[in-house]
C-alpha cells in the first residue's frame, strides 16, 4: 500500500500522480493493476 498526502501543494510528483490516475478529489483510493495503470477510473466510467 502506498499513501500520499495530496493536500500539500507545490510538489511536482503529486501533480503527476493526480494527472496520471485522474484523481478528482481527496481522499481517493486507486487500485493499480500489474501494468501500473489505475483501474478504479476504468471501473467507474462503465
In tens, the pLDDT along 1-46 reads: 678 888 888 899 888 888 888 888 888 888 777 776 666 554 454 4
pLDDT of residue 36: 65
Other Cβ atoms closer than 10 A to 9 = 7
Rounded Cα distance between 19 and 46, Å, is: 20
- Give pTM, 2 decimals: 0.62
Amino acid at each position: 500500500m502506498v499513501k500520499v498526502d495530496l493536500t500539500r501543494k507545490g510538489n511536482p510528483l503529486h501533480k503527476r500522480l493526480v494527472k496520471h490516475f485522474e484523481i478528482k478529489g481527496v481522499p481517493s483510493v486507486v487500485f493499480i493493476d500489474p501494468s501500473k495503470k489505475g483501474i478504479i477510473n476504468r471501473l467507474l466510467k462503465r
